[in-house]
């Protein structure tokens, strides 16, 4: 049934943003855990650990996110596990975000001068203690702007979850289009809503970046 | 529950996969070339152009960079026909990918342009180089050399992002995978195989970019 595009549709689209945000939150949480491990692996003083981290990053950054979503959504159901779009999306996005956050954070850890590590070592701190008390606090400041920047990528990429039937902003847009047949208006609204989410974060990220440069 | 992997049906459809692979490569290469052209022209306009032009480029870059590719695709493929502009899926994909990559390239190359110190441009001028020569030898080539790694990884990301065009039924590698999946029900096998193919493509593109960097930029 085709009906007119109404104000209510706009409200529904705005309401669907909460699922976009929820998925972004889950992905960021899962991605942080994976990313932290990857970053640690990549700076570990043990070569095979570094290889493992590198392999993970290359494998994930070299395959499309869409493939991960499909593997988890369609793939896991064949081994007898029924996967809801939520679980599939959470798993796929954690893996995806983990690789990118891991690389960002590794860069931040490695940006800290080697002498800082050595200073820690000469105080008798172990590798983990050096990381915990000396490197991580300094790296954290560096990490904030690019992490906020990646959050924008993540918000935009949650739109891909629409293809496995995860109802968020883009999927809601598809559904609204199907009933009203006004694709141009609907997708314009959807794009505007994404813009409203992402643009402030983009600005924040570049402002933080500038402020950090001044502080150094 | 145990599951036995059977790749035979998937491999039997290799011609489909090959067709898809060719379109994926085509889309990637065309988008990369037009993205580079848009990036060069746009970043020059953004840095050296008159204020109104800077404004237009900034709006373009920020709009594209802050909205998802899939929504841009939907707008062009599903939305524009109601405004009277109609493309087939492959063309729409090509346009959307070029516009998308163009915006990112502008931002990357702009950073490179702005990293060229003013004094170097003045040094070029004081050597008697013409405006165009200064632009070519002092600005563009060093800026590209500086930003090449960032540009290359954006290009690889774009190659992976071409998989999204399957959602408007452009017949790329990922679309072909969906077709094989719906015929054979070998979901896992198909998507693992295709993910592997993308991985190989990504490594290949990285190698090519490293080669380009080595031969074009590193020797000077």
The domain in which residue A138 lies consists of 7-215
Q: How is domain B8-217 classified at the architecture level of CATH?
A: Orthogonal Bundle (1.10)
In this prediction, residue B141 carries a pLDDT of 86
B194/A67 touch (CB, cutoff 8 Å), yes or no: yes
Coil, helix or strand for B120?
helix
Mutate to test the interface with A, among B195, B201, B205 (most CBs of A within 10 A): B195
Would an 8 Å CB–CB cutoff place A160 in contact with chain B? yes
- Chain B closest CA to A65's CA: distance in Å? 8
Q: Which residues of B touch A75 (CB under 8 A)?
A: 187-188, 191-192
B187/A74 touch (CB, cutoff 8 Å), yes or no: yes
A98: in domain: yes
Coil, helix or strand for B58?
helix
In this prediction, residue A123 carries a pLDDT of 92
Q: Which residues of A touch B79 (CB under 8 A)?
A: 183-184, 186-188
Out of B62, B80, B188, the one facing A199 most closely (by C-beta) is B62
A1: in domain: no
A165: in domain: yes
Would an 8 Å CB–CB cutoff place A156 in contact with chain B? yes
In this prediction, residue B2 carries a pLDDT of 63
A184/B79 touch (CB, cutoff 8 Å), yes or no: yes
A67/B198 touch (CB, cutoff 8 Å), yes or no: yes
In this prediction, residue A95 carries a pLDDT of 95
A42: in domain: yes
What CA–CA distance (Å, rounded) separates A31 from B144?
32
In this prediction, residue A216 carries a pLDDT of 46
A153: in domain: yes
| pLDDT in 10s for each residue of chain A, 216 residues | 667 788 888 899 999 999 999 999 999 999 999 999 999 999 888 899 999 999 999 999 999 999 999 888 887 777 777 788 888 899 999 999 999 999 999 999 998 988 999 999 999 998 889 988 999 888 888 899 999 999 999 999 999 999 888 999 999 999 999 888 888 999 999 999 999 999 999 999 989 888 876 544
Distance between first and last Cα of chain B: 61
| Segments making up each domain of chain B, as ranges | 8-217
CATH number at residue A169: 1.10.3720.10
| Residue B208, CA atoms < 13 Å, CB-side half-sphere | 11
Q: Rounded to 10 degrees, what is the CA torsion of A66, A68, A70, A71? A: 160
DSSP B16-57: HHHHHHHHHHHHHHHHHHHHHHHHHHHHHHHHHS-HHHHHHH
Q: Which residues of A touch B74 (CB under 8 A)?
A: 170, 173-174, 183, 187, 190
In this prediction, residue A44 carries a pLDDT of 87
Out of B3, B71, B198, the one facing A79 most closely (by C-beta) is B3
- What is the total count of domains within chain A? 1
B188/A74 touch (CB, cutoff 8 Å), yes or no: yes
Longest dimension (CA), chain B: 77
What CA–CA distance (Å, rounded) separates A69 from A60?
12
**Helix (H), strand (E) at residue A169:** helix A169-180
A2: in domain: no
Residue B198 in contact with residue A63, Cβ under 8 Å? yes
Out of A75, A156, A183, the one facing B191 most closely (by C-beta) is A75
The pLDDT tens digits for A130-161 are 988 999 888 888 899 999 999 999 999 999 99
State phi, psi for A139 to the nearest 5 degrees.
Answer: -65, -35
What CA–CA distance (Å, rounded) separates A56 from A54?
5
Helices (H), chain B: 8-12, 14-48, 51-65, 69-74, 89-114, 118-126, 131-133, 141-161, 173-184, 187-212
- Burial label, B88 (beta-carbon count in 10 A; 0-12, 13-18, 19+): exposed
Distance between first and last Cα of chain A: 61
Q: Which residues of B touch A174 (CB under 8 A)?
A: 74
Out of B3, B65, B71, the one facing A190 most closely (by C-beta) is B71
B188/A156 touch (CB, cutoff 8 Å), yes or no: no
The pLDDT tens digits for B152-196 are 999 999 999 999 999 998 888 888 888 888 888 777 888 888 999
- Residue where the block lists tokens 């949650």: A158
Residue A182: DSSP 8-state: -
Axis crossing angle, helix A7-43 with helix A47-61, rounded to the nearest 10: 150
Q: Which residues of B touch A63 (CB under 8 A)?
A: 160, 195, 198-199, 202
Q: Which residues of B touch A80 (CB under 8 A)?
A: 1, 3
pTM of the model: 0.88
Would an 8 Å CB–CB cutoff place A64 in contact with chain B? yes
Residue A194: closest C-alpha in chain B: B67
Q: Which residues of B touch A60 (CB under 8 A)?
A: none
B195/A71 touch (CB, cutoff 8 Å), yes or no: yes
In this prediction, residue B181 carries a pLDDT of 83
A183/B78 touch (CB, cutoff 8 Å), yes or no: yes
A191/B75 touch (CB, cutoff 8 Å), yes or no: yes
Residue ranges in chain B whose pLDDT is less than 70: 1-3, 219-220
Would an 8 Å CB–CB cutoff place A159 in contact with chain B? yes
């Amino acid at each position: 049934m085709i009906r007119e595009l109404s104000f209510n549709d706009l409200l529904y689209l705005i309401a669907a943003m909460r699922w976009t945000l929820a998925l972004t939150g889950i992905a960021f949480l899962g991605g942080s855990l994976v990313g932290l491990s990857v970053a640690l692996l990549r700076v570990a003083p043990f070569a095979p650990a570094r290889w493992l981290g590198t392999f993970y990053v290359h494998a994930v950054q070299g395959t499309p996110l869409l493939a991960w979503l499909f593997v988890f959504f369609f793939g896991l159901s064949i081994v007898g596990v029924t996967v809801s779009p939520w679980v599939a999306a959470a798993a796929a996005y954690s893996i995806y975000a983990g690789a990118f956050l891991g690389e960002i954070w590794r860069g931040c850890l490695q940006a800290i001068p080697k002498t800082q590590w050595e200073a820690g070592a000469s105080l008798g701190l172990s590798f983990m203690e050096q990381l915990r008390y000396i490197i991580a606090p300094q790296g954290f400041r560096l990490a904030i702007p690019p992490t906020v920047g990646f959050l924008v990528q993540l918000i935009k990429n949650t739109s891909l979850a629409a293809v496995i039937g995860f109802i968020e902003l883009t999927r809601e847009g598809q559904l609204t289009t199907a009933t009203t047949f006004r694709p141009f208006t609907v997708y314009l609204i959807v794009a505007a809503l994404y813009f409203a989410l992402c643009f402030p974060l983009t600005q924040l990220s570049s402002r933080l970046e500038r402020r950090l440069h001044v502080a150094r | 529950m145990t599951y036995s992997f059977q790749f035979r049906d998937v491999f039997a459809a290799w011609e489909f996969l090959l067709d898809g692979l060719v379109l994926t490569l085509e889309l990637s290469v065309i988008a990369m070339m037009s993205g580079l052209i848009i990036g060069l022209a746009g970043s020059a306009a953004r840095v050296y152009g008159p204020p109104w032009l800077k404004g237009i480029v900034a709006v373009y870059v920020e709009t594209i960079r802050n909205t998802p590719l899939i929504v841009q695709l939907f707008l062009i493929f599903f939305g524009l026909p109601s405004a009277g502009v109609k493309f087939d899926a492959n063309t729409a994909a090509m346009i959307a990918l070029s516009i998308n990559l163009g915006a990112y390239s502008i931002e990357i190359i702009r950073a490179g342009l702005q990293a060229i110190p003013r004094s170097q441009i003045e040094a070029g001028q004081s050597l008697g180089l013409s405006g165009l020569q200064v632009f070519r030898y002092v600005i563009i080539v060093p800026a590209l050399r500086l930003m090449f790694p960032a540009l290359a990884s954006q290009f690889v990301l774009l190659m992976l992002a071409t998989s999204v065009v399957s959602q408007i039924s452009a017949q790329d590698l990922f679309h072909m995978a969906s077709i094989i999946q719906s015929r054979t029900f070998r979901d896992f096998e198909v998507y693992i195989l295709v993910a592997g193919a993308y991985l190989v493509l990504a490594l290949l593109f990285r190698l090519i970019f490293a080669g380009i960097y080595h031969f074009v930029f590193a020797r000077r």
